[in-house]
Amino acid sequence: MRDDFTNITILGGGLLGGSLALALPKPDGAPRVKLWVRRAETVKEAEAAGIANATCDLAEAVADADLIVLAVPVGVMPGLVSAALAAGLPEGCLITDVGSVKQFPHQAITPLLAETGVHFIGSHPMAGSEKTGITAAAADLFRNAACILTNDDHVAGSEAAALDRFWQALGCRTAWMSAEIHDSLVARISHLPHIISASGARISLQDPAEGRFGGGGLRDTTRVAGGNPDMWAEILIENRRSIAAPLRETIEDLREILASLENGEQESVRQWLTTAKERRDLYQSPIT
Residue by residue, DSSP assigns 4-44 as T-SEEEEE--SHHHHHHHHHS--TTS-SEEEEE-S-HHHHH
**Are 207 and 167 contained in the same domain?**
no
**Are 202 and 172 contained in the same domain?**
no
Q: How far is the C-alpha of 130 from the C-alpha of 138, rounded, in Å?
A: 13
Q: How far is the C-alpha of 280 from the C-alpha of 163, rounded, in Å?
A: 33
Count of domains observed in the chain:
2
pLDDT of residue 131: 75
**Are 33 and 109 contained in the same domain?**
yes
**Are 211 and 92 contained in the same domain?**
no
Measure Cα distances from 224 to 20, 106, 131, 199, 217 in Å. Answer: 21, 27, 9, 11, 13
pLDDT of residue 49: 86
Please name which of 126, 138, 135 lies closest in space to residue 167, comparing C-alpha atoms.
Answer: 126
Is the Cβ–Cβ distance between 174 and 167 less than 8 Å? yes
pLDDT of residue 126: 94
**Are 59 and 195 contained in the same domain?**
no
Amino acid at 55: T
**Are 131 and 268 contained in the same domain?**
no
**Are 25 and 147 contained in the same domain?**
yes
Q: Is 100 helix (H, G, I), strand (E, B) or coil?
A: coil
Residue 217, judged by CB atoms within 10 A of its CB (0-12, 13-18, 19+), counts as: exposed
Q: How many Cβ atoms sit within 10 Å of the Cβ of residue 29? A: 8
pLDDT in tens, the chain (288 residues): 557 999 999 999 889 999 999 999 666 667 899 999 998 988 899 888 888 889 999 999 999 999 999 999 999 999 999 999 999 999 999 999 999 999 999 999 999 999 999 999 999 999 977 778 888 888 999 999 999 999 999 998 999 999 999 999 999 999 999 999 999 999 999 999 999 999 999 999 999 999 999 999 999 999 999 999 999 999 999 999 999 999 999 999 999 999 999 999 999 999 999 999 999 999 876 654
**Are 46 and 105 contained in the same domain?**
yes
Kindly state whether residue 1 falls inside one of the protein's structural domains. no
Kindly state whether residue 287 falls inside one of the protein's structural domains. no
Domain extent at residue 27: 7-177
Please name which of 45, 61, 73, 57 lies closest in space to residue 7, comparing C-alpha atoms.
Answer: 61
Kindly state whether residue 288 falls inside one of the protein's structural domains. no
